Every structure is written in structure tokens, then in C-alpha cells.
Chain A
Amino acid sequence: MDAQVATHEHAHPGPALYLRVAVILFVMTALEVLAFEVSHRPSMPLHELVQPLLNEILIILSAAKFALVAMFYMHLKQDSKIFSGLFVFPLIIAAVLIVALLLLFSYLRLLHPAA
């Protein structure tokens, strides 16, 4: 991360791109809620398919939304890689923290003879 004197000229992508991102974000949010509704109502189509996969679907959609905002609205796509590093590294530690605690408080306990 050395003095690669960042020559990012401020060619910010224009409002048209931002609008496209906003629409995609909106649609994805709608899909999240739709998946929720489908998985909670046996009468809805695709219920059998969505119901067991709800959490996975939500994680993928929310990660995609997160990435879109970070890349386009927070400009990480064109900005210096240092900024991306400053965001991604803590996010990795944060994810490890959440997953580790969930494992410690659920799955790993089951392996314990005394539990």
C-alpha cells in the first residue's frame, strides 16, 4: 500500500449509474421481503423451495446490496485500494466474530459431552 500516488482522476460515474443502482437495490429489497412472505405462507407458489433456503437467500441478497452501496455510492470501485482495505479487513474480522460466536453458542456446545 505504498505511495502509489493515487492518480484516480475524479471521474465519478454520473447520476444515470446511481439511479440504476438505486433501482437494483429497491428490487433486491422487494425480493427479500418476497422471499420472507413466500417462506411463511404454504399457499404461495415455490413455498417448498424457498422455505428451507430463506436464510441463505437473505444472506446473498443482503451481501449483494451491501457490495453495491460500498462499490458505487461509497466509490470504492474507483477510489484507492487503501480505502477498500480499510473496509474489507474489519468486515472479515467482524464476520469471523459473528460466525465464531454463533458456533460457540450452538453447534459446538452440542459436541460437548456435558451439554
Chain B
Amino acid sequence: MAHDTAHALHPPTATGLDTRKLAIWTFIGSECLFFATLISNYLVYKGESLVGPLPHETSQCMLHGQMTTCEPIFEIPLVTFGTAVLLFSSFFVVLALNGAQQGNRKKLIGWLSATVVCGLFFIGMQVYEFYHFYHKGLGYTTNLFGSSFYTLTGFHGTHVTLGVIWLATMLVLAIRGKVPPEKSLNLEIAALYWHFVDVVWIVIFPVVYLMR
């Protein structure tokens, strides 16, 4: 990608750090507050829903126009699998970056493809989960649990999607031979964003799915 920096015209920088890398870290710092607010919203409303369905308990809820007993919403095995996939995608993108820095194109393209596939799988998992939960009676506006759950995980999913688009762009560039070692920083920046999306999920997974 083209350098949008005036510092390219006036090296080296005052700190010796790359300007774009500094920018992505600044942005990541800012995003921490974005997710903290969404997580607060989820936690403040935890246990405040007026009707079911609920995360871990059977409850009274409205389904197809009548009050029935609803099963707990969460199914841990599927989301655990998705979590593991996202974790491994972080591992893969580190390897891809390693390949890029060594000028090893095969390694770069291979691991980067694996990362993108993992990302796509995670999105698929989430779409399936939403669809499934909906049919178990948890609509977007059914109760506070549904609204705050879908909003939090939905925004995370949007970030995953943007990350996949970014990494896929890098993959296309890599295939065209446009990510040589001296430009591996472009991949490093995308990878930082991807890891951030991963650590956010490291928080969301226990806080939303597992905690009491």
C-alpha cells in the first residue's frame, strides 16, 4: 500500500518508530474503550431481562405468539470451536508475517490463506449461531439479554469482517508478489488489528458465554 506519510519525506522519525505502526496502536487503544462500553452495557443488564430466553437457564418466554418454556440459549461446544479457530488464526498470521519478513512467499501465502479461511469460518459460526438462537426464541428485541448480546457480538463480528477484508487484500497483494520483505510492515499492521480482534474475543468468550 502506498505510504500516506509525510515522514517518508523526512526520515527518521523522532522516536525511531514507524508512523503507521504508531497510528494502528493508537487506534487500537481507542477501540479498547469502544468494546469496554459495549461489555459494560452487557454486564449491567445481565440478569435484568423481564422475559426469557436466558443464557444458561430455562425460562418462560414468548415463542410463536404463546408463552412457553424456553431452553437455555447458549451451546458451549460450537462457540468453543469458533473460539479455538480464531485463536489459531492469530497463530497463523504470525507465521505468515514471519514468512513475509524472510521473503518466503510460499510460507506467506499459505499461512495468510489459512488465516483468512479461519476468519471466514468464525463469521460463519456467528451467523449460524445468530440464526439458531433466533429460532430458539431469542429475537433482537426479545429482551435485554438478546439486545445486548447481539449488539456486542455483532460489533465484534463486524470487526472480524473488516479484518478479513483487510487480510484478503493483503493476500491478493502477496499473490501478486507485492509484499516483499521491505514491505512486510504492511502485513504487520493488518496483523496487529487482527490480533486485537482476537484478544477482544478472548475477553468476550468467558464474560458472555461462561461467567455466572
The reply to whether chain A is a binding partner of chain B is yes
Q: With an 8 A cutoff between CB atoms, is A113 at the interface?
A: no
Task: Tell which of B35, B36, B37, B202 touches A69, judged by Cβ atoms closer than 8 Å.
Answer: B202
**In the complex, are the beta carbons of B44 and A105 less than 8 A apart?**
yes
Q: Which residue of the partner chain B has the closest CB to A61?
A: B206
Q: Nearest chain B CB to A40's CB is how many angstroms away?
A: 8
Categorize the interface residue count of chain B. Answer: 35 or more
A18-B95, A98-B40 given as contacts; is B25 within 8 A of A87 (CB)?
yes
Q: Is A46 an interface residue (CB 8 A)?
A: no
Query: Is B15 touching A6 in the complex (CB atoms < 8 A)?
Result: yes
A108: which B residues are within 8 A, CB to CB?
Answer: none
Contact (A86, B88) CB under 8 Å given A3-B16, A101-B44:
no
B101 at interface, CB cutoff 8 A:
yes
For this complex, 11 residue pairs linking A to B, each with C-beta atoms less than 8 Å apart, are A22-B91, A26-B84, A29-B87, A35-B210, A69-B202, A80-B15, A87-B32, A90-B32, A98-B36, A101-B44, A102-B43
**A74 adjacent to chain B (CB < 8 Å):** yes
- Taking A33-B80, A55-B211, A94-B33 as contacts, is the C-beta distance between A82 and B87 under 8 angstroms? no
**CB neighbours of B198 from chain A (8 A):** 69, 73
When C-beta atoms are compared, the residue in chain B nearest to A97 turns out to be: B36
Q: Given contacts A90-B29, A97-B33, A101-B40, could you give 20 more A-B pairs where the C-beta distance is less than 8 Å?
A: A5-B15, A15-B95, A22-B88, A22-B90, A32-B205, A37-B76, A59-B206, A62-B205, A62-B207, A69-B90, A73-B198, A82-B25, A86-B22, A86-B26, A87-B25, A87-B28, A89-B29, A90-B30, A90-B32, A97-B40
Contact (Cβ within 8 A) A58 B210: yes
**Which partner residue on chain B sits nearest A39 by CB separation?**
B212
User: Which residues from B are CB-within-8-Å of A33?
Assistant: 76, 80, 210
Docked-complex contact A69 and B44, CB < 8 angstroms:
no
Known: A3-B15, A18-B91, A80-B15. A102 touches B206 (CB 8 A): no
Residues A36 and B87 in contact, CB atoms below 8 Å apart: no
Give CA–CA (A69, B198) in the complex, Å: 8
Bound: A68/B95 CA distance, A: 16
Q: Is the CB of A97 within 8 A of B37?
A: yes
Q: Is B6 part of the binding interface, using a Cβ–Cβ cutoff of 8 Å?
A: no
Closest A residue to B46 by beta carbon equals: A102
With a CB–CB cut-off of 8 A, which chain A residues contact B88?
22, 26
The residues of A that contact B28 with a CB separation of less than 8 Å are 86-87
In the complex, whether A65 has a CB less than 8 A from a CB of chain B is yes
Does B39 interact with chain A (Cβ within 8 Å)? yes
Q: Is the CB of A29 within 8 A of B210?
A: no
When the two chains form their complex, are residues A54 and B33 in contact, meaning their CB atoms are under 8 A apart?
no
Q: B98, A14: Cβ atoms under 8 Å?
A: yes
